[in-house]
Structures are given as C-alpha cells and as structure tokens.
A and B are shown apart, each in its own frame.
Chain A
Amino acid sequence: MKPELLPWIILFLPLAAAGIIALFTQRNRPVSAVLSIGAVVAGFILSIIYIGWAGWQPAVEESSFTWLVIGDVRADFGLRFDALSLMMLLVVTGVASAIHIYSLGYMREDPGFSRFFACLSLFTFSMLGIVLSISFLQMFIFWELVGVSSYLLIGFWFEKASAADAGKKAFITNRLGDFGFLIGILLVWGIFGSLNFGVLEDKMLENPDALGPVAAVAGLLIFCGAMGKSAQFPLHVWLPDAMEGPTPVSALIHAATMVAAGVYMLCRVYFLLDDSALNVIAWIGGFTSLLSALIAVQQNDIKRILAYSTLSQLGMMVMGVGLHGPTQAMFHLTTHAFFKALMFLGAGSVIIALHHEQDIWNMGGLRKKMPVTFWTFMVGTLALAGVWPLSGFFSKDAILAQAATEQKWALFALGVTVAALTSFYMFRLVFVAFGGSGRSEAAGHAQESPGVVTWPLRLLAVFSIIGGFIYIENTYGRQFLKDEGVHAINVIDQLTFPFKHAPVPALLGLAAAAAGFFLAMKLYSGAAKDPLPEKLGSVARAMRNRFYWDEIYQATVIRMHDFISAVCDWIDRWLIAGLAVRGTHGTTEILGRALRLAQTGNLQTYAFLFALGVALVLYLALK
C-alpha cells in the first residue's frame, strides 16, 4: 500500500467508526467503544509511521482531487502536508487517543455510551479535517463540522435544560464569528481568485501588498473566525457554559483541540495578516487573557476554573500570533494541549470519585486519598504556572520573550501579570481541592480512580514534563522561519536556552509563578472558606459574576435580537401570511361571491340583462 494513502486513512477512519456506531452498533457498547478507540489509536500509530516515512517537510506538499468545477470556479478536496499540519496530526490523534481511553471509564454508567463515542469520533474526523485542509473552503466545511460536533457533545445530556442551552449558545456564538470569517474568505477569494493555501502563500510572497487597502480588514475578518472558535473577547461567553458537557469533552474539545483550531488557522494563514491586523489581534488576545484570569480567581467550580484558565491561555496564544510569533503560539498550543487535557481529565477523576461534586469548597484532603490524580494534577499545575523545567515554562517564556523582542512592553507586562494570576488561581485550586482535609462526606470517602482513568493521566503528565525540550518548537520553527532555519540543539542546551538567550522574560516569568504560589499558599492553605470576598468586596463579586458580560449581552444583544425577531414575526404573520396569502384568498372569495349574485335563476333577470346587452351593442355599432 502506498504510504501516501496513510493520511487519507487516518482522516477517514474516525468517520467510518462514527458512521458504523450511529447506524449499527448503538446498543452494543463494547463494540462501539472498540471501534471508536481503535480508529483514533490506529490514527495515532499510522501518523507516527507516516511521519517516520515522509519526514517533517515532505516532498509531497499536497494530495488532492478536484471536487467541483463550475465554470471558472474550482474546488479541490485534499490533504496538506507540512510541519504545521503533521505536528498537529500527532497532537490531535495522540491527545484524542488518551481521552477516548479515559472515556471508557468515565462514561461507563451512562446510557448514551455509544452515542458519546460516535460523537467523539465525528469530532476527531472534523478536527483532523481542519488540520489537514488545503484550502479555505475545505477548512470552513470542517470548521462547521467541528462546531456541530461540539454542539452535540456539549448538549450530550440534552434532557438537562442548561446543557441544551449551553450547546445552543456555543454554536450560535461560533456562527457569529464564522460570519466575519466567511466575509474575510470571500474578500481573499475576490482578490486572489483562489482559496488554496499554497497558492495564496505563493501569491503573497510574490507581492506582499496584494491585498492592498483591504489588508487590515481582511485580516481582522478572518480573525473573527478565530475569535468565535477560540473564544476571544467578545465572543468568549460560550466556553465556560460549555462545561455542561461531560468532562472528557471539556478536555478534548474545549482545552486541547477545537479551541486551538482558531489559533491553528491564524498560523496557517499567517502570511495574510498585516501589521495593523496583528496589532489588534495581539491586544484582543492580551485583553481576553487578563479578563479571564481575573474571573478565574473567584470561581468555585473546578471545571469553570479550568475553563477560564483555558480562555486565558488561548488569549496568550493569540497574543503570541499578534506579536509576530506564530512558532511560539503553536508551541504553547501544543504544550497547553498536554497539560490542560491532563488537568481536565484529573478534574474528571475527582468529580466521579466524589459522585459528581464540582464545587472545590466541598472537596479537600484528596492529596492522600487520590495520590495518582493529585500528583498528575500537580504536574499539570506546575506546567501551567510556568515552572522550569516543565513544558509550560518554555512555551510561555517563548511568548513573553517574543513580546520583549518586539518591544511591546505593555503586552509584556500584561503577560507577566497573567502569569502571576494563573499561578495564583491554579494553586488556589490545588490547595483548596487537594490540600487540607475533607470538607464533605463525599470527600471523606473518595478513592483513587481505576487504571483506565489514571493511565491517560500518567501519559499526559509525562508529556507535560518533557514537552519543552522534545524539539516541538524546533519543528514549528521549520514551518515559519524556513530560510533562517532553526538549529537543533541538544536537550541540555535547550533546558538553559531561555536563560542565556533572553534572561529577563524567563526570570520575570518564574518570579510571577513564585509570587502567585506564595500568595495562594498564604490565603488558601488550610482555609475553610474563601477569604477574598471579604478583602476585595465588590471586585471579588464582579470576578465571581464573570464581570457581568453575560448579563450585558442578555440586556443588549439578546434584547435587540428578540426585537428584530418580533418585527420579522409581525411581518411574516400580518404582511406575508395576512396580506399577501389570506388577502389574495379573501379577494378572490369576495369577487366570486359578487359574481355569483348574477346567477339568480330568475328568467326575467336574464332576459333583462340580455336586452341590456343588445342595447349596448346597438349603441356601440351606431356610434
């Protein structure tokens, strides 16, 4: 079999699994699980084999076939192979494999077990589609598919009204972003005549000013898509609500992969974004980052804290792109996938051990009761806080160093502040949930989760530790800095590279992490309740209420939307159905009734009309 076919198989295996499960094996739980897990694990193994055979910069750039031809318009469907897509292939299949296996344990008692695996496989297919797409059109198709999968999975427990609403909110907010995205795509198509990434990149290289006066607008419109998918301000409101879905879903979709699709897309079309667009992107990313970090400080639901943390890190990634650092952003995306998925899975382990308890103030003392979960979660926290030598340190430092290189000191300061806040709220979580002693019945009786849950945790923990120096950044560097090249330095040198190359950001980042840790320890170690609401009063309340953004949207956007829909309803009910349809009906009926009055059945009436007609004809003839 030709090795070139491998990526096609990797892409379509999960779709086949989803189809078979949905159509045939819904009642057969073991078979469904085997199909789904098998498809994604096979995908991971085949990805490794393919990359082993083809290398990171394959000679074959694209494998495609013509899908539609309408006049001058050609739409191709195919797969693109370069360092960016191949690396993401590994990340997506790898993290997805771990989460599929974890779901075996987590969803064991759920009646919708098979449906869950079908949706997970559908999602895997769609995400792989985005990662391997060759053109904007194809990416947009898979972009929407990912949105659908997310909707299905967030609203998995659809009987719960809050879950169904959250699914709707996610999908609709995404669609708002996609509206801007689509207009941006159409702009690009109008200017270049093609949507293929390779063709666009070549044309931009030839003529960097090809986009002309609409460059900034096109860039920002395309960024709208990333705003929706990666939950940047102001479209960030759907992500915390998406925690209504099962925890493996939160880990896979809303931490590791789908939300990263926005950042991936920005890096994929980085050559289209000009400096003014990038500046706006950086500031939006930075602002989102700060806003969500502040909100996370006062959240009490373990999954919400992690959700806001994800929002904050996504903001950092987007800021990285905006600071002319796509390599650094993708590096952070990858390490974040490892440790955030790890922490969500760890949270899931805690949640099921405590019988679906999610409030951290009802936990406590889990350090001794669930050691594997605790230690892996600790690894994740240290990585997220940016402690050397874990992966998070290297990737976060890369972004901070980029900010320093670009001399954007405001964003640099913002990044350091966010790092401190991140460390603070994460250690708050750890001290309250795992430290101290059990604050509730369930916490007292907690037990470590079974192997099928803890082994994925261990695996992801390993990657969170080593992810900083296994040449991930190097591989991405080859994609974006082709000519300069990135030198492959050995592991020991990589460990000390940040300190030698850009010591200020590295040391400030570590200082911020330490500051957050000590402050959290002072306030929360052994605490029975949260001391911040008293100390900070209304600020704490604003943080806990997510700075009232949902309420603002409800009062403004939703009300305006309801008003527009009431107007449309009026038009539909009274003008279209009333005037046009029933009006025509009524008029015809009245006319008919009027004409019917002429049929009296009375002989003399008819004779009279007859005589009248003759008189009229005579008059006209003799005129």
Chain B
Amino acid sequence: MNIGLEHYLVVSAILFCLGLAGVLVRRNLLVIYMGLELMLNAANLSLVAFSRFTNNLDGQVFVFFVITVAAAEVSVGLALIVALYRKRQTAHVEDLTTMKL
C-alpha cells in the first residue's frame, strides 16, 4: 500500500478528535490535560507530515517550537492543578464550578 499524505492527515485528525473528546467528556483534571496534550501532538503529526511531503523543512522547525511551548505549558498547568487540588481537595472538574445555577 502506498502511504500518502492523506493517511497521515487522517490519523492526525483522528488523534485530534480523540483528544477533544477526552477534554469534553472526562471528569478528572489530569485526564483532561492528557487529552489536551494529545491534541497538541496531533497537530505536530500533521505539521511533520506536511513537511515530509512538500520537502519543506519549515514544518519541522515549527514542531520544535510547539514541543517547547507544550512543555512550558505543562509545567505551569500542572502547577496550577496541584494548587487547585490543595485548595479544593478534588480533581473532579464538576466540583470546581462555583457559579450558582
């Protein structure tokens, strides 16, 4: 079978949707965070695929930046989650809502 660009893009799309589904459905904060990372990586995959199939290195350079930013974001985000957990003693996103119905 000839693996073309479209195969990579489809995989990337599926990964993105899975990540999005995780963000929307799961209740544990950390799992939501993992879904978020999955979405980022899906974007990375598609960038690399484009770079490979158009013989243009810009895509791969962009991926470096994305990975760096993701790493920084994870550190800050996890710190926030830990702080939130210490305050509210829960990692359930439903219990974190303070707006009254």
Contacts and interface: CB of A to CB of B under 8 A. Distances in A.
B68 interface: no
B24 A601 contact: no
B97 A602 contact: yes
A604 B24 CA distance: 5
Interface in A553-612: 599-604, 607-608, 611
Contacts of B32: 604
A608 B21 CA distance: 9
B94 A602 contact: yes
B99 A607 contact: no
A599 B100 CA distance: 10
A608 B96 CA distance: 17
B1 interface: no
Q: Which of B24, B94, B96 has the most CB of A within 10 A?
A: B24
Interface in B48-97: 93-94, 96-97
A601 B98 contact: yes
Q: Classify the secondary structure of B's interface with A.
A: helix
A381 B96 CA distance: 102
Q: Which of B25, B32, B93, B97 gathers most chain A CB within 10 Å?
A: B97
B20 interface: yes
Contacts of A604: 23-25, 32, 93
B20 A603 contact: no
Contact of A599 (B23, B93, B99): B99
B93 A603 contact: yes
Contacts of A611: 20, 24
A601 B23 contact: no
Contacts of B98: 601
| A interface SS class | helix
Interface range on chain B: under 10, 10 to 19, 20 to 34, or 35 or more?
10 to 19
Nearest to B23: A607
A180 to B, nearest CB: 66
A608 B24 contact: yes
Contacts of B25: 604
B99 A603 contact: no
A608 B97 CA distance: 16
Nearest to B99: A601
B99 A600 contact: yes
A600 B97 contact: yes
B20 A601 contact: no
Nearest to A599: B99
Contacts of A607: 23-24
Interface string B32-56: 1000000000000000000000000
Interface string A63-91: 00000000000000000000000000000
Interface in A238-274: none
A600 B100 CA distance: 8
A569 to B, nearest CB: 42
A603 B93 CA distance: 7
A504 B23 CA distance: 119
Interface string B8-24: 00000000000010011
B17 to A, nearest CB: 10
Interface in A603-623: 603-604, 607-608, 611
B84 to A, nearest CB: 12
B28 to A, nearest CB: 12
A616 to B, nearest CB: 15
Interface of B: 20, 23-25, 32, 93-94, 96-99
22 contacts: A599-B99, A600-B97, A600-B99, A601-B97, A601-B98, A601-B99, A602-B93, A602-B94, A602-B97, A603-B93, A603-B96, A603-B97, A604-B23, A604-B24, A604-B25, A604-B32, A604-B93, A607-B23, A607-B24, A608-B24, A611-B20, A611-B24
Interface of A: 599-604, 607-608, 611
Given A601-B99, A603-B93, A607-B23, 13 more contacts: A600-B99, A601-B98, A602-B93, A602-B94, A603-B97, A604-B23, A604-B25, A604-B32, A604-B93, A607-B24, A608-B24, A611-B20, A611-B24
